[in-house]
Structure 1
Amino acid sequence: MQLRPRARRALLVVHVVVCAAWLGLTLGLLALGVTGLVSPAAPTAAGAYLGMRVLADWLLVPVSLLALLSGLALALWTPWGLARYHWVYVKWWLTLAATAASGLALRPNIDHAAAAAASAAAAGRAVPRDYDLVAAPSVALAGYTFLTVISVLKPWGKTARGRRLGRVRRGGAPAREVRTADTARTARTARTPRAAGAPGTARTADTAGAVPVAAAPARARRTDGTERGAV
C-alpha cells in the first residue's frame, strides 16, 4: 500500500512537527532538571521537579508514541520501507527504544522525584537532588539530535534486503550473474580461431589486391603521355 502524494506530504508534516515537539520537550525537561539540581532554594527546586511531572504526565508519552507511529506509517506506506535503507532501520529501532524508555523509566523517575520534592518542601526540609533527571534528558537529547541528523542526511545506503528487492522489481539478474556471463562470453570469443575465409581476411586480401590493379593503368597512362610528349 502506497499513500497518495498529498496524504504522504501531510503525514510527513505531522511526523516532523511531532519529532520537533519531542526534541523541544526533552530540552525543557533538561532545563528543569538542571534547575532542580543546582538551585539552592528548596521552593525553586521543588517547583522545577513539579514542572517536570506536568510535562511528563501530559506530553511525554503521547508525543513519543505519536512520533513512533507516524514514523512507522511513513516507513510502511511510502517507498522508503522499514528495512530497505539502513538509516530508516536504525531510526526505527532507536525511536522504539526511546519511546519505551520514556514511558517505562523516565516518567516514573520524574513522578518519584516530584513527590519527594513536594513532601520535603512542605516539611521545610532540603529537596533531594536527583542527578538521573539531568543524565536521562541529556542522553535523550543527544539521541534525538542524532535521529534528526540521519533523517536529513540519509546515510549508509540500502540494506541487503533493499538491494534484493530493487533487483527483483527491475526484473534483472543479480550483478554477479551478469558479470559471470560476460566473462564467459569474452573467454569463448578469445578461444575461437579465425577462419581462413573470414570476412576480415577477405577484405584485407581485396584491399591488398586492389592497389596494383588500380595503379597499373595510371602508370601506363603516365608512360604513354610521356612518350607522346617526347615524340
Structure 2
Amino acid sequence: MQLTRRPRRAALVVHVVVSVGWLGLSLGLLALSIAGYTSGSAAVAEASYRSMKVFTDWLILPIAFTTLLSGVLLSLGTVWGLARHRWVWIKFWLTLIATTATVFSLRPAVNSAASDAIARVPVEAGQDLLFAPSVSLSIYLFCTVVSVLKPWGLTRRGRRLREARVAGGAADRKADRAAGGRTDRKATGRTDQKAAGQTGGVPGGVSARTKIAKAVDVPPVAETV
C-alpha cells in the first residue's frame, strides 16, 4: 500500500526530525561520558552521569522507537520498499541493532553509573559508557550518509520484482497491440460491407445495374434514376 502525498510528507518530516535528534543525543551522551570518566572529580562525574540518566530515561527510547517505526512506515509506504534496495535494508538492520543495544545495554549501564556516582564510589561502567555512545554515533552518521547518497542498487528481491514488473508490462503491451489489431480488422470489415452496400452488393464499385446493361449490350441507365 502506497502512502498518499500528505501522510508521506508527514512521516518523512517525523523521521528526519527524530533521526537528527537521535544523532544529537548520542553526541551529547558521548560528551557527558567523556567528562564523567576523565574529570577526576566526584562532583563532575555525578553531574555527568545523572544528566545521562535523564536523557536515557526520558528521551532516548521514544526517539529510538519513533525513528525505527517511521523508517519502516516510509519504506513500506513508498516505492523504495523495505527489502528492495540495499541501502534501505542495511539502514533498517543497523537501526534495529542500535535500538536493541540502547534498550538492553546503554540504559542499564547509565543507570549503574549514575547510582555509583551518587554513592560516591568508583564508576564501574565508565569505559562502557565511552564505547556505547561512540558506536551509536558512528552508526547514526553512517545511516545519515547512506540516506543522502542511496548507494548499492537493488537487492536480489528488488531485482526479481523489477524483472517481474518489466515482464508484466511487456505482456500488457503485447495484449494491447493484439486487441488493437482485432479492432482494426473489425473496422475494416465494417467499412467494406458499407461500401459493398452502396454499390449494389458488388465489390470493386460496379453496380448490378451496370453489369446487367453490359450483359444485354444496352447503355446503362444513369444511377440517379
| TM-score normalised to structure 1 length | 0.70
**Counterpart for residue 32 of structure 2:** 32
**Counterpart for residue 17 of structure 1:** 17
**Counterpart for residue 57 of structure 1:** 57
Amino-acid identity (%): 53
Deviation at 1:160, TM superposition (A): 1.5
**Counterpart for residue 130 of structure 1:** 126
Deviation at 1:80, TM superposition (A): 0.5
Cα deviation, 1:44-103, whole Å, max 9, x if unaligned, reads 111100000000000111110000000000111111101100000000011000000001
Runs of 4+ in 1 over 2 A off after TM superposition: 125-129, 170-174
User: For residues 127 and 92 of structure 1, what CA distance do their matches in structure 2 show?
Assistant: 34
Deviation at 1:170, TM superposition (A): 2.7
Verify: 1:158 aligned to 2:128, yes or no. no
Matches within 5 A, 1:47-196: 47-120=47-120, 130-171=126-167
1:164 corresponds to which letter in structure 2?
A: R
1:82 corresponds to which letter in structure 2?
A: L
Deviation at 1:2, TM superposition (A): 0.5
Secondary structure of the residue aligned to 2:133 is: helix
User: For residues 69 and 113 of structure 2, what CA distance do their matches in structure 1 show?
Assistant: 29
Q: Cα distance 1:47–1:6, how it changes in 2: closer, same or farther (>3 A)?
A: same
User: For residues 6 and 163 of structure 1, what CA distance do their matches in structure 2 show?
Assistant: 29
- Segments of 5+ residues of structure 2 without an aligned counterpart are 171-225
2:131 corresponds to which letter in structure 1?
A: A
1:45 corresponds to which letter in structure 2?
A: A
User: For residues 26 and 146 of structure 1, what CA distance do their matches in structure 2 show?
Assistant: 13
In angstroms, what is the RMSD of aligned CA positions?
1.7
| TM-score normalised to structure 2 length | 0.72
Deviation at 1:127, TM superposition (A): 5.6
User: For residues 172 and 14 of structure 1, what CA distance do their matches in structure 2 show?
Assistant: 36
User: For residues 80 and 94 of structure 1, what CA distance do their matches in structure 2 show?
Assistant: 17
User: For residues 146 and 160 of structure 1, what CA distance do their matches in structure 2 show?
Assistant: 23
Secondary structure of the residue aligned to 1:79 is: coil
Q: Cα distance 1:83–1:129, how it changes in 2: closer, same or farther (>3 A)?
A: closer
User: For residues 101 and 158 of structure 1, what CA distance do their matches in structure 2 show?
Assistant: 28
Deviation at 1:128, TM superposition (A): 5.7
**Does the 8 A contact of 1:83 with 1:159 survive in 2?**
yes
**Does the 8 A contact of 2:23 with 2:137 survive in 1?**
yes
Deviation at 1:166, TM superposition (A): 1.3
Deviation at 1:139, TM superposition (A): 0.9
**Does the 8 A contact of 2:109 with 2:125 survive in 1?**
no
User: For residues 124 and 70 of structure 2, what CA distance do their matches in structure 1 show?
Assistant: 38
Which one has more relative contact order, counting CA pairs under 8 Å at least 6 apart? 1
**Does the 8 A contact of 1:36 with 1:129 survive in 2?**
no
- Segments of 5+ residues of structure 1 without an aligned counterpart are 175-231
Cα deviation, 1:183-203, whole Å, max 9, x if unaligned, reads xxxxxxxxxxxxxxxxxxxxx
How many correspondences in the alignment? 170
User: For residues 28 and 138 of structure 2, what CA distance do their matches in structure 1 show?
Assistant: 14
Matches within 5 A, 1:187-206: none
